[in-house]
Chains A and B, each alone.
Chain A
Amino acid sequence: MTGVFLGLPTAPRGVGHLRGDRSFPDAARDSLRDGQLRANLGHATATIRGKRAAVVGEVPDWAELREAGRAIKAATMARLDDHLVALEEQVTARGGTVHWARDANEANEIVTRLVQATGADEVVKVKSMATQEIGLNEALEAAGIAAHETDLAELIVQLGEDKPSHILVPAIHKNRAEIREIFLRTMPGVDPGLTDEPRKLAMAARAHLRERFLRARVAISGVNFAVAETGTLSVVESEGNGRMCLTLPQTLITVMGIEKVVPTFRDLEVFLQLLPRSSTGERMNPYTSLWTGVTPGDGPQEFHLVLVDNGRTAVLADDAGRSALHCIRCSACLNVCPVYERAGGHAYGSVYPGPIGAVLSPQLTGVEDNASLPYASSLCGACYDVCPVAIDIPSILVHLRGEHVEAQSRTTPEAVAFRALSTAMSNPRLWRLAQRAAGLGRFLARGRPTLPAVLPPPASKWTRTRDLPTPPKETFTQAWAREHGS
């Protein structure tokens, strides 16, 4: 059953960053030719793949943790409404205020209103996929509020007026020399002698943001896990920018997709093992903050939690695609994906790139708004193998291809061909005829072992870069029948 069928709204158009302006093959055509991008991505993904493999390999109960993680997410989704109501109750009881947003527009309105109520004209932000998804920075800017990204990679993207291309490391497509250039060009008061040594670049970011942290009155964060039974929220990070935002300002506004809830505090013992090893390839990330409502004398004294749907309930309605909501945003699937590694994150057109993006974005927007994404995979299965919550991404991709095909109101040439082929393959007599017809292709080869490189489309899509063997005179089954007299 699909969300569309049940009338559940998908993420609205015209707001946020879930849709690209080009199809995946079109966008990939450009990125594939960008040698620097290819080199940067190849280097970075190879590095992280090695680190992940090492720290996952040393955990003797990884399979058990993975299965528990999968099961917790499945159990959560099965009673999502109950868990959200419990979360709201707990957060409220501990001094927080909970807001609900049907979609990106509503979430942006709520956050803008909350910031305006404080009188602040700027906010500091912890890296958050949800706020990128809904286009919060643009909405705040339109209201005259400056949003300062504080995660190093987000800062690089923001200063470079670029787009994020990876879930964990949005600036993965930039190398150290390019980052140095961006800092020199855009960072006020930066040391002109700045080198491209990563440590020096990190120090430049520290100096640039320090004063902003100390003067910030409002912070905006996302959330990795929200515990229903206790109202505990968590942010998993490395640099300390998250702690700065979660601790220093007077007001904290946290935006979370409704799927980020987990039922019990105990569930964190699973995810806090799965996430760091899968994402940065570390035994544990440097900082994890956990907070519940407001703590007098420690941290923000005003706390708002914004729960966002934005198409998630439509995903929930499709039991074949629902598990895409289990994603804990570790990025392991991006790092192992041969398509991501070569085409890069921008080709996906959504803030969620890579294999998980190819199943999540089309479901959040409705598959027709991201119709090329389910096909942006060779179905090699590497993503499923590394997913810490065992999301069967290849099967969802195949499912969404089916949804796309079945959503077509007009018959495409492809559909005509596949239907004809289906008819032939369902009937041995027709199939033999079809095989014989295919065998006639051998005359195009004029005796050579391969067909000509120039063939009409769609065959040209293959033959432009790869030879096709000349079909044999006789199929195997024909020859066998002839020789064995059946």
Chain B
Amino acid sequence: MSAREEVLARIRTALGEDRAVVPEIVRDYRTTDERTHAQLLDVLTDRLEDYKATVLRCSPSEVAPTVRAALGTAMGEHSPADVVLAPGLPADWRPDGSVEDDGRPAVALADYAATVTGVSVAIAETGTLVLDGSPLCGRRALSLLPDCLVCVVEADQVVGGVPEGLARVDPTAPLTMISGPSATSDIELQRVEGVHGPRTLIVVLVH
């Protein structure tokens, strides 16, 4: 018997021939949010700041300058060519001189100092940005290797809780849920920001 057949046979033995009916799953937890959209934006901001991320708000016409200012604050003097963009980033979000991900080997993305991407959805309650590997969000390594990550979130992408957030994404896409900069609690259970992933996370909230 193959290992597959044997493991499956063991499960069938373990569960017995007269299987119990599958217990019902009651989902009476929250799947909607009563808060207004403005309140959700505030909650998202509060949660992100709690994770030591920086949140900058701007109007749709101010995205590029806000991103540029954010990069300046995070990195000080830098060359725009050190900033790599998700390939689907709208033209009017792009800071002048920055370059689009050209599909080079993933590890070579480590040469960049910062990345700018959009998001697929943002979850207010947990301060979570979901990136889905689409051109707007870029491939996974893009939001991982450069030390500074700038994510542009549009107000209508913000939902209340985790159920609403996951309902908006494609389960088979390469998804990354990001809640603040990289961190660890491995030393005395104390949270410290900044390990292997980007040590700086800046969220530009467009509304």
Contacts and interface: CB of A to CB of B under 8 A. Distances in A.
B107 interface: yes
Given A40-B188, A78-B19, A179-B187, A240 B10 contact: no
Interface string B167-207: 10001111111111111111111111111111000000000
Contacts of B22: 75, 78-79
Contact of B171 (A68, A72, A230, A299): A230
Contact of A152 (B19, B167, B184): B184
A304 to B, nearest CB: 14
B11 interface: yes
Interface string A46-85: 0110010000000011001101100110110011110011
Nearest to B103: A297
A232 interface: yes
A240 B183 CA distance: 8
11 contacts: A75-B24, A99-B3, A102-B6, A152-B184, A169-B189, A209-B196, A232-B172, A247-B106, A282-B191, A284-B128, A292-B173
Identify the 8 closest CB pairs spanning chains A and B, nearest first: A240-B197, A240-B196, A317-B14, A284-B126, A313-B10, A239-B195, A284-B179, A153-B186
B68 interface: no
A150 B195 CA distance: 11
A133 interface: no
B127 interface: yes
Residue with the highest number of chain A CB atoms closer than 10 Å, among B4, B185, B191: B185
Given A81-B8, A232-B171, A269-B162, A8 B25 contact: no
Nearest to B165: A269
Nearest to A245: B196
Interface string A228-256: 00111000001111011011100000000
A440 interface: no
Contact of B188 (A3, A44, A276, A289): A44
Given A227-B171, A291-B174, A299-B174, A248 B15 contact: no
User: Interface residues of B toward A: which range?
Assistant: 35 or more
Contacts of B184: 152, 202, 238-239
B12 interface: yes
A102 B3 contact: yes
Interface in B57-107: 103, 106-107
Contacts of B167: 266, 269
B166 A286 contact: no
A359 interface: no
A292 B195 contact: no
A150 B182 CA distance: 14
A239 B196 contact: yes
Given A151-B186, A198-B190, A298-B174, 20 more contacts: A8-B14, A44-B188, A44-B189, A68-B25, A80-B15, A101-B7, A102-B3, A152-B195, A153-B186, A203-B194, A230-B171, A240-B195, A240-B197, A243-B196, A248-B106, A269-B167, A272-B162, A283-B50, A287-B182, A298-B141
Contact of B140 (A71, A199, A238, A299): A299
B177 A284 contact: yes
Contacts, number: 262
A3 B16 CA distance: 11
B182 A286 contact: yes
Given A248-B106, A258-B7, A269-B166, A6 B172 contact: no
B169 to A, nearest CB: 8
B28 A152 contact: no
A230 B172 contact: yes
Contacts of B173: 292, 295
Contacts of B113: none
B163 A241 contact: no
Nearest to A94: B172
A445 interface: no
Nearest to B2: A100
A172 interface: yes
A297 B105 CA distance: 9
Interface in B105-121: 106-107, 110
Interface in B16-51: 16, 19-31, 47, 50-51
